[in-house]
Structure 1
Amino acid sequence: MPGPKFRVAICGGGIGGLCLAVALSKHSDIQVDLYEAAARFKEIGAGVMIWSRTWEILTLLGLDGKFAEIAHAPPDGSDGVGFDYRKSDQPEEGHRFYFFERPYGCIRFHRAQFLDVFVDALPEGVDHFGKRLISYSQTSSDTPVELHFSDNTSAVCDVLIGCDGIKSTIRKQMLEEKARMGQKELLRNINPIWTGTTVYRGLIPVDRLKALDGKEHRTIETPMMYCGKHKHVVSYSISKRSIVNVVACTSRPDLEGSTYRDGEPWVVDCTQEELLDCYNGWEPEVVEMLKCIEKPTRWGIHHLRPLPMYVSNKVALLGDAVGLLSIMYRALSNATVQAHAMSPHQGAGAGHAIEDAFILAHLLGHHSITLARLPQALLAYEHVRLPLANHVLRGSYESGKMYEFDGPQGDSLQGLGPALEKQWDWLDQTTPTGEADRAVERLEDMVQNE
C-alpha cells in the first residue's frame, strides 16, 4: 500500500475538529491525527441548534440518520419554527412581534449527544488524548510542521489545523509571528474580549413545565425568543422534546471590551435567586419557566475581533479560533473554542464550524492537491470562508442587540420585525455545496497560474 499524500494534524476535539477529522477520514490517501488536550472528548453546556444548510452537510457526510435519532424531532424538510419573538419585559402577559419560519425550522440537539455522533464516526487510531499544544514550528515551506505538546512529546505533520477555540494557542502564535513581520495591528486580535453580556443557563425536564391541567408551556413545542430592554431569554426543547434548554442573557453595552467581572472565571455556578432577581417584573410565563431552573450557571460571553486572515503557509484556523462571535460552550478553565468565536444570537457557531470543516476537507481531498500545493488549498479555504464568517459574526452581534431593543430600531416593534427578518438572509444567500465549488474554482485558478 502506498503511503499517504500528506499528513493533517487537527488540534482541538470540539465539534469543528471532529467534523473535519470525520470528513477527511473519507479520503484514504490522507493521514489524519486529531489531538485533544483533555483525557476524552466532552462538551459542557446543553443545547446546540443548526439550520438547513448545516443539515445538508450532515447528509452529505452520511450522518443524517444518526443525527435524526437525537434531534428534538426527526427533520423532514417541512417548514418549521425558527423562533417566536415575544415582548416580555412587563409583569402582564407579553405578545408576539415577529415569527420566523423556514424549511426544517431550527434543528435542536443536546450538545453532548451531538458531539458523540462525530466521535462514533471517527476511525480508530485518529484520536490522541492528553495532547495540549503549546507551540508549533515550521522552518520553511518545504519542511514539515513540528508540534510541541505540554507532556514534552512532539509530532510532525504537513498541514496544521487549529480548532483550539477562543483561547487558541495556534491563533496566538500565528498572529504574533505576523506582528513580528510588521503587522503589529494583529496583536489586538489575539485575546478575546467580553461583549458586556452575561448569560444564565439551565436545563428543565419537560414534565416540570406542564401545568396540573396538562397544558404545556409553549416553549416545549416552539423555540422562543423572549425580548426586553437590555435582556432576552432563549428557550427550546432538545433530546426528543424531553428537556428544555434555557439561555437567559443580560447585557451592559457600556461594559463591552472591559475586564469580565474583575477577572472572575467565565463560567461559574450561581443561585436561583440571582437569576430570578435579574428577570423580576417580566411576564409570568418567563418567570415561571426560570423558577424551574434550580441550579443555574452564569457565563461571560466573549468574542474575537474579526480576523483579516485564517491562514499562514501550512497552518489554518477553523471554527471559533477565527473569531465568529459565538461562545462554544467549552470555555471553562483551560478548555477551548475555535476560529470564529461568535456570540450565540443566531445559533450559527456550530453550523459555521461544520461548514468550515466541510469546505476545508473538500479542498484537501481534491485530486489536484499535492504536498506542495497545500498552502494553495488553505488560501482557497480562506478566500471563501473568511468573508461569510465575518459577515455572520457581525450579524450575530447585531441581532443580540436587536433582541434587547438596543439596535437602531430600539423598541419600535413595527420596524424591528422586518429588520430581524433581514438578519437571517445569510441562510439562503449561498449553499455549502455552492461555496465548496467556489473554493475549488479559486484553487484551480491558483494551480493554473503556478
Structure 2
Amino acid sequence: MAIDTSISQLRVAIVGGGPGGLATAIALSKIPNVKVTIYEQASVLREVGAGISIGANTWNVLELLGVADSLTSWHETWTTLNMNGRSGKELHRREKARNSVKHPPIRTQRTKLQSALLEHIDPRILQLSKKLVRMFDLGDAGVELHFHDGSIITADLVVGADGIRSVVRDTAWPGYEIKFTGTTIWRTLLPWDDVKDLNPTFEVTGWWHSPTTHVYFSPVGDGLWEIASRAWHDPAIHAASKVSWGVPVDNAHVESHFTEYLPEIREALARVPPGNWREFAAFAGPELAELTAWDSKVVLVGDSSHALSGAFGSGAGFAMEDGWILAQALAHFGNDRRRALALFNAIRVPYYARMYAHLAAEAARRAAKLHEIGSPSFDERVEAKIITDGGSAMAWIYNNDIGAVWSEAVREIGKEK
C-alpha cells in the first residue's frame, strides 16, 4: 500500500508496556505514517498482580482493538456479593442482566489480558530494559528521552503509559504529587481445589468486609482462585514506609490483619503457600486539568493520567480507552498533534473529572451515614461501606461504549464547521 505523503510523519514513543501502552501501540499502528516504539523498564514483560475484571466497557474497547477474540480462560461474574466478614451475613447481591450481552462480565488473570494484547503487537516495536530517567522539551525538534542504560532517543510524541508513579507525568507536570491513601493490598492466586472444601460461597465472586478491611475472593479460570485482601493504615503514621508495589510479604503479616474474620476465611488465608503473597501500597493524586503538555508533544494514558489508585476496578479498561481515543483523534486530524490532543483532552478530561467528583461524593455519603448513626457498631460500620444501588448509578463507567463516545465527538466536530 502506497504511503499517503499528505499525512505528517509521526514518531511516537510509548513509555510503559502495560495494558494501556500495548493497546495504544495496537491502535496507533493502524494509522498511516506513524512509527511506534514501546519502551518498557522491565527486562521481561510480566504483569504484576493476580486477577482483573473485564466488563462491558473493557470488552467494547477490546473489540475495537481487534483483541477480544484473543482473550481466553476466565470466570463469569454474573453474580457478585458483599458479605459481613465476621458474621457471614449477606449484605448485598448484585445480579447482572444477561440479555443482549455479547460478552459475559468476567474475572481473569492479568497475564491472560497481557498475552491477548501481545498477540497483536509486532515484537520489533517493543524495547525492554528501557527505564526512563529524564525527558527534555526540544521545541519543534520534539522530545528527547534519556534512559537508564545511557541510550537517548527523540520522538515527536511521547505517550506516558507508565502508571501511577509516571516519570513522564512527573517530568512534564513537575508539581504533581501522589500520596499514600492508607490502603494496602495483598494479592495471590492458588488452586481452587486447595480451598473449595471451606465454603461453597467462596466460588461466587465477592467481598467479605470488616469496617476497615476486606477480603475479595474470585475464581479466575484455569482452576485458579484469587484472593485480594485490603487493610487501612493511617497515612500520617505509615506513609513514609509505604512504597511497595508487588513485593513479597510473609503469610503471618497478611493474616494478622484479618483475625476477626470467620474461621473459614482465616483458613483460606492460611492455605496460601509461603512466598505467594505480594503487597501493593495504594497511592493517589489530584485531578489534572489537562492530560497533554509541552505544546502537544506529551500525553498521558491510564493511571498516569488519573491517579485514582484503582478506585473503580477498571483501570486497564480506562487505559485502553485512552489509547484508542488518542489513535482515532490522530487519524481524524492527519497526525496533527495539536488538534488531535485538544480533542483527546475534550473527551477524556471530563470523564476523569466525573470519577473524582463521584469519589468525593461517595466519601461524603459514608461519613454522613456514620454521623447520623452516632456511635456505630461493627456491623453498622460495615453496612455503611456498601453501595446498594446495584451498580445502576455507575453505568456511565461499566457500560461505557467508547466507540459511541468517539462517534458523538465526531458529530459535534461536524456541527462546529
**Do they superpose with TM above 0.5?**
yes
Match of 1:319 in 2: 302
Match of 1:231 in 2: 213
Which of 391, 407, 410 is equivalent to 1:437?
Answer: 407
Distance in 1 between the 2:284 and 2:74 partners? 28
Question: After alignment, is 126-135 or 1-10 more displaced?
Answer: 1-10
Match of 2:373 in 1: none
Distance in 2 between the 1:203 and 1:20 partners? 28
Distance in 2 between the 1:8 and 1:52 partners? 29
Q: Identify if the C-alpha distance between structure 1 residues 352 and 408 changes in structure 2 by more than 3 Å, giving closer, same or farther.
A: farther
1:432 Cα deviation after fit? 0.7
Match of 2:192 in 1: 206
Is the partner of 1:125 in helix, strand or coil? helix
Match of 1:175 in 2: 173
Is the partner of 1:39 in helix, strand or coil? coil
1:101 Cα deviation after fit? 2.1
Match of 1:364 in 2: 330
1:396 Cα deviation after fit? 5.8
Match of 1:375 in 2: 338
Distance in 1 between the 2:307 and 2:354 partners? 9
1:420 Cα deviation after fit? 6.3
1:239 Cα deviation after fit? 2.7
Q: For structure 1, list consecutive stretches of 5 or more residues without a partner in the other structure.
A: 74-79, 177-186, 327-341
1:395 Cα deviation after fit? 4.1
Equivalent pairs, count: 395
Q: Identify if the C-alpha distance between structure 1 residues 307 and 66 changes in structure 2 by more than 3 Å, giving closer, same or farther.
A: same
Which of 329, 343, 350 is equivalent to 1:387?
Answer: 350
1:318 Cα deviation after fit? 0.6
Is the partner of 1:409 in helix, strand or coil? helix
1:386 Cα deviation after fit? 1.6
Q: Identify if the C-alpha distance between structure 1 residues 324 and 101 changes in structure 2 by more than 3 Å, giving closer, same or farther.
A: farther
- 5 Å matches for 1:108-127? 108-127=107-126
Does the aligned pair in 1 maintain the 2:24–2:327 contact within 8 Å?
yes
Does the aligned pair in 1 maintain the 2:79–2:93 contact within 8 Å?
no
Does the aligned pair in 2 maintain the 1:70–1:114 contact within 8 Å?
no
Does the aligned pair in 2 maintain the 1:134–1:150 contact within 8 Å?
yes
Is the partner of 2:256 in helix, strand or coil? helix
Match of 2:377 in 1: none
Q: Identify if the C-alpha distance between structure 1 residues 194 and 444 changes in structure 2 by more than 3 Å, giving closer, same or farther.
A: farther
Which of 22, 25, 36 is equivalent to 2:26?
Answer: 22
Distance in 2 between the 1:54 and 1:358 partners? 12
Match of 2:374 in 1: none
Match of 1:425 in 2: 395
Distance in 1 between the 2:236 and 2:119 partners? 39
1:63 matched to 2:67: yes
Residue type of the alignment partner of 2:302 = G
Does the aligned pair in 2 maintain the 1:324–1:390 contact within 8 Å?
no
Is the partner of 1:391 in helix, strand or coil? helix
Is the partner of 1:278 in helix, strand or coil? coil
Does the aligned pair in 2 maintain the 1:36–1:131 contact within 8 Å?
yes
Q: Which has the higher contact order (CA 8 A, sep 6+)?
A: 2
Match of 2:85 in 1: 88
Is the partner of 1:232 in helix, strand or coil? strand
Match of 1:148 in 2: 146
Residue type of the alignment partner of 2:192 = V
Is the partner of 1:353 in helix, strand or coil? helix
Does the aligned pair in 2 maintain the 1:12–1:163 contact within 8 Å?
yes
Distance in 2 between the 1:259 and 1:445 partners? 53
Distance in 2 between the 1:82 and 1:135 partners? 46
Q: Identify if the C-alpha distance between structure 1 residues 277 and 237 changes in structure 2 by more than 3 Å, giving closer, same or farther.
A: same
Distance in 2 between the 1:173 and 1:390 partners? 22
1:434 Cα deviation after fit? 2.0
Percent identity of the aligned residues? 24
1:239-271 Cα shifts (integer Å, max 9, x gaps): 34x11111111114xx24665253564444333
Distance in 1 between the 2:192 and 2:361 partners? 31
Distance in 2 between the 1:275 and 1:269 partners? 11
- 5 Å matches for 1:130-169? 130-140=129-139, 142-169=140-167
Residue type of the alignment partner of 2:92 = F
1:219 Cα deviation after fit? 2.9
Q: Identify if the C-alpha distance between structure 1 residues 406 and 233 changes in structure 2 by more than 3 Å, giving closer, same or farther.
A: farther
Distance in 2 between the 1:302 and 1:415 partners? 20
Is the partner of 2:141 in helix, strand or coil? coil
Does the aligned pair in 1 maintain the 2:57–2:399 contact within 8 Å?
no
Is the partner of 2:404 in helix, strand or coil? helix
Question: After alignment, is 30-39 or 146-155 more displaced?
Answer: 146-155
Match of 1:250 in 2: 231
Does the aligned pair in 2 maintain the 1:307–1:323 contact within 8 Å?
yes
Does the aligned pair in 2 maintain the 1:89–1:229 contact within 8 Å?
no
TM-score between both structures, scaled by the size of structure 2: 0.85
- 5 Å matches for 1:281-360? 281-295=260-274, 296-312=277-293, 313=295, 314-326=297-309, 342-343=310-311, 346-360=312-326
Distance in 1 between the 2:209 and 2:78 partners? 17
Residue type of the alignment partner of 2:12 = V
Residue type of the alignment partner of 1:374 = R
Match of 1:219 in 2: 202
Distance in 2 between the 1:124 and 1:40 partners? 13
Residue type of the alignment partner of 1:322 = S
